[in-house]
Chains A and B, each alone.
Chain A
């Protein structure tokens, strides 16, 4: 299926980019644009196959159910999991909350510890902070080194017999650096604890094999990988899911309901109460097809040239400070965060916006991390397969223009 289409061809597959040729969209870590194929698949589902799933015997509902379950199978294959190990949620945040509630409730008790890294997005921090407060457990936070990368040795040292859950990002949404997972996951398992990996950024930039990774729980969102909003994924080992109680309850997730007794449905449906995001699942499946049609090597190679070029050009600017490692390395994802002396990140983002360059400014939902490095806010540019060197140039020219306006 892999075809080596060039970047212009790929870019032309994105209607929003094609109709806004002046736009440099550099906020892909927050959400990517959607290829035509994804939009068409969702549209076609509503036009030709829409019915609710898992409820009715008529042909249309069976067709919708088949497409929905086919999407689950596609996601399972994408992550090297089994279909019953894939739960569709609203987004990665909901998937983490599901684990905090359904797994945390039964497995974390007073005096236990939940270990997170300070790199975490609020989505992988707040559910654990709340769980620990409710359970009188201790939230332990692993630090970063001065360069903003996870201190692996310190994190390893913090895993103990008291540790019940370790929550860790696979790839920082601020620095674009990957987290060393192998030794940490091995140590977690030696201690009989469980690990949840936030893959929201990682899935957009690398082939993920959750079996090889050893993750007990793995989450991501559709909208960061060319899919629609409103769908996320929790992938979890079947034997863990079997022992967990549902997160929310309602329609479709039960076998029998009586006034005093209810039997939950099998996994994964036990965790999918109510009408699920059917069209969104089909959109996500098509987004995965899109990624695999490009091929990881091609995607990776393009992203690497972009981030290497962006780092080089940003480093050449006076008064601009990169957060995280400043030099390029081949495992660096195409995300760069920085500050500009004398220009507040929001002012920078507004000036870039006037030049049709869309970047993120603020704390990127990673306040503990930014604060640990003594920042309150920063600017972030994040790239993907459809971005170009010309867009990096537009970013650099915009930063220089902001410096001129602010006379720095």
Chain B
């Protein structure tokens, strides 16, 4: 099976969560220096729940589709639960074999989210 399955490409071409969250509680940006990918996650927290979460940025199909899948999966979760979302869970969500060199692309959105959530939790 190759990396570029129909479902993944669909998230890349037609992302549901691309944009900026209104009244964001936190935002964080990550770069992939290897390929120039940039990804910003914005989220609004209401009563410890991720009421809205979106992404913006540009880059390869893997990083952008992963961001759409991640934001879709995290929306509505408590921040405690969302904070436990692991790299393995991200790989499962992508459901395609990610080669070692593309790990960073696959995890870019998750890294940005964790950074933003961490800053939010400590402020």
Q: Write the residues of chain A forming the contact surface with B, with a CB cutoff of 8 angstroms.
A: 344-347, 350-351, 353-354, 361-363, 376-377, 405-406
Q: Does residue B121 face the partner (Cβ distance < 8 Å to A)?
A: no
Contact present for B62 and A406 (CB under 8 Å): no
Nearest chain B CB to A344's CB is how many angstroms away?
4
Task: A406 to B70: give the CA distance in the assembly, Å.
Answer: 22
Whether A344 touches B2, Cβ cut-off 8 Å, given contacts A350-B102, A362-B36, A377-B36, is no
Nearest chain B CB to A181's CB is how many angstroms away?
31
Of listed A345, A350, A354, A376, residue having the most chain B CB within 10 A: A350
Question: Which of B3, B9, B59 has a CB less than 8 Å from the CB of A406?
Answer: B9
Question: Which of B2, B9, B102 has a CB less than 8 Å from the CB of A346?
Answer: B102
Contact present for B4 and A346 (CB under 8 Å): no
Whether A346 touches B99, Cβ cut-off 8 Å, given contacts A362-B34, A405-B4, A405-B9, is no
Nearest chain A CB to B6's CB is how many angstroms away?
10
A405: B residues at CB distance < 8 A: 4, 9
A363: B residues at CB distance < 8 A: 35-36
Counting from the closest, the 6 A-B pairs by CB-CB distance are A376-B36, A344-B60, A346-B60, A377-B36, A346-B35, A347-B61
B58: A residues at CB distance < 8 A: 376
Nearest chain B CB to A120's CB is how many angstroms away?
18
Give the A-B pair count, Cβ closer than 8 A: 43
With CB as the reference atom, state the residue of chain A lying closest to B5. Answer: A405
Task: A406 to B58: give the CA distance in the assembly, Å.
Answer: 16
Is chain B's binding surface mostly helix, strand, loop or mixed?
loop
A377: B residues at CB distance < 8 A: 35-36
Task: A152 to B19: give the CA distance in the assembly, Å.
Answer: 44
Q: Does residue B69 face the partner (Cβ distance < 8 Å to A)?
A: no
Whether A344 touches B3, Cβ cut-off 8 Å, given contacts A362-B35, A376-B36, is no
Contact present for B35 and A345 (CB under 8 Å): yes
Of listed B58, B60, B99, residue having the most chain A CB within 10 A: B60
Task: A400 to B6: give the CA distance in the assembly, Å.
Answer: 18
Q: Does residue B39 face the partner (Cβ distance < 8 Å to A)?
A: no
Contact present for A344 and B59 (CB under 8 Å): yes
Nearest chain A CB to B27's CB is how many angstroms away?
21
Contact present for A354 and B2 (CB under 8 Å): yes
Contact present for B62 and A347 (CB under 8 Å): yes
Question: Which of A346, A353, A376 has a CB less than 8 Å from the CB of B105?
Answer: A346
B2: A residues at CB distance < 8 A: 351, 354
Contact present for A350 and B36 (CB under 8 Å): no
Nearest chain A CB to B72's CB is how many angstroms away?
21
Task: A351 to B37: give the CA distance in the assembly, Å.
Answer: 18
27 A-B pairs (CB sep. < 8 Å): A344-B61, A345-B35, A345-B60, A346-B34, A346-B37, A346-B59, A346-B60, A346-B102, A347-B4, A347-B60, A347-B61, A347-B62, A350-B3, A350-B4, A350-B102, A351-B2, A351-B4, A353-B99, A354-B2, A354-B3, A362-B35, A363-B36, A376-B58, A377-B36, A405-B4, A405-B9, A406-B61
